[in-house]
Amino acid sequence: MKIKNLCILGSTGSIGTQTLDVVRTYPERYSVYALCANRSVDKLVAQALEFKPEVVCIADESLYDELSRQLSAIGFEGKIWVGADSIAEMVTMPSIDIVVASMVGYAGLRPTIEAIKAGKTIALANKETLVVAGEIICELAQQYHAPILPVDSEHSAIFQSLVGEDRSEIEKILLTASGGPFRTYSLDQMRTVTASDALKHPNWDMGAKITIDSASMMNKGFEVIEAKWLFGVPVEKIQVLVHPQSIVHSAVQFTDGAIKAQLGAPDMRLPIQYALSFPERLKSDFPRADLFTLGSLTFEEPDMKRFPNLGLAYEAMRRGGNIPCVLNAANEVVNLAFREGRCGFLQMSDIIAETMVKAAFIAKPTYEDYVATDAAARRIAEQYL
Ligand code: MG
């Protein structure tokens, strides 16, 4: 068996560290060739010491000296790179087989595009990439024969349900959502919630940005867009179901009425491992979902009044062009502002909606248009804070 060389973007984040858990379990299958973090120098150095990559990279240029000092102190002999240009170059290195794209937010777009152009297999955890530029990403993936394997649990479930199936026979995608910590809150209660309330996700342990997106259901809106691009299904055929137990990770309904779903305990290591090992399944000792203990699984319709972000995501896709990019940029601004106490919970959706109205529409954006749209939308959203 040939060892697969991994490049992990966002290696110190939630998906990155869980990817390294999988590598630790299967050292005969996976080796870490390159590690990249945004700002977490200490964690990155500890990972370099353990996994001995050829390249270590930090996105934040101001941390280069500190990273170099710490890496030389542990006797690291590989390359030390810094900044966005280096990341874009790193992902194309010939020895790399799989790029795990788990950076947070818009920053994941450029390296993902470069990795696709280099024909790498992409284990995609950065959903913002598909939200912002799904059309370009899918066209490039076809052109350069770069497989995109979903790491997001819902999309992994859909992907697993589609193994052996013809995609033209999909009638509907049933995308499940936990509903987040405010599922049962009234609008009045939601007005006063804080970031620390929102960071208590009932089922999943994730990074801060995505946990806030889950609480506001923007995460689910993004996942609808992500599913559209990954599986070629129009958003009208993607139905969100609130499923508080997070056991059914998503399902596909086919034209004959059959529904296939993937179930399991909420543990991101399973979809990560499946993306790395596909089409094989590897043994694991991850916790099992015990259906007897669970007893019952429930499903309810999402409430678009209390969670307008979901509606905004559908609207962004209906309008198309650069509007999903506007949606993402405005969301990154308000998500951070909410975490820093500069924006109320419900105010986040209002600002995103306003930004979608104010931003200039481009029907068929190029990569450069996306870059300009992202910057413009951020400026507009900031003005409302
Ligand atoms: Mg998800």
Write a three-state SS string for the chain. CCCEEEEEECCCCHHHHHHHHHHHHCCCCEEEEEEEECCCHHHHHHHHHHHCCCEEEECCHHHHHHHHHHHHHCCCCCEEEEHHHHHHHHCCCCCCCEEEECCCHHHHHHHHHHHHHCCCEEEECCHHHHHHHHHHHHHHHHHCCCCEEECCHHHHHHHHHCCCCCHHHEEEEEEEECCCCCCCCCHHHHHCCCHHHHCCCCCCCCCHHHHHHHHCCHHHHHHHHHHHHHHCCCHHHEEEEECCCCCEEEEEEECCCCEEEEECCCCCHHHHHHHHHCCCCCCCCCCCCCHHHHCCCCCECCCCCCCHHHHHHHHHHHHCCCHHHHHHHHHHHHHHHHHCCCCCHHHHHHHHHHHHHHCCCCCCCCHHHHHHHHHHHHHHHHHCC
> What's the 248 CA to ligand 1 centre distance in angstroms?
12
48-69 confidence digits (pLDDT tens)? 999 999 999 999 999 999 999 9
* Torsion sign (Cα): 340, 341, 345, 350: negative
> What's the 287 CA to ligand 1 centre distance in angstroms?
18
> What's the 153 CA to ligand 1 centre distance in angstroms?
5
> What's the 223 CA to ligand 1 centre distance in angstroms?
7
Beta carbons within 8 Å of 196's beta carbon, 6+ residues apart: none
Q: Which residues fall inside 5 Å of ion ligand 1, going by CB?
A: 152-154
312-333 confidence digits (pLDDT tens)? 999 999 999 999 999 999 999 9
pLDDT-derived band at 207 (thresholds 50, 70, 90) equals: confident
> What's the 345 CA to ligand 1 centre distance in angstroms?
21
**Percent over 90 (pLDDT), the chain:** 96
> What's the 138 CA to ligand 1 centre distance in angstroms?
20
Residues 361-382 have a mean pLDDT of: 97
pLDDT at residue 205 in the model = 74
Q: CA angle, 38 as apex, 37 and 44 as ends, to 5°?
A: 35
pLDDT at residue 211 in the model = 92
> What's the 76 CA to ligand 1 centre distance in angstroms?
35
pLDDT-derived band at 380 (thresholds 50, 70, 90) equals: very high
pLDDT at residue 288 greater than cutoff 80: yes
Q: CA angle, 134 as apex, 107 and 32 as ends, to 5°?
A: 50
> What's the 277 CA to ligand 1 centre distance in angstroms?
19
Q: How far is CA 152 from CA 22, 233, 239, in A?
A: 16, 17, 17
> What's the 208 CA to ligand 1 centre distance in angstroms?
14
**Percent over 70 (pLDDT), the chain:** 100
> What's the 66 CA to ligand 1 centre distance in angstroms?
34
In this structure, what token pair is assigned to residue 287? 């916790």
> What's the 155 CA to ligand 1 centre distance in angstroms?
7
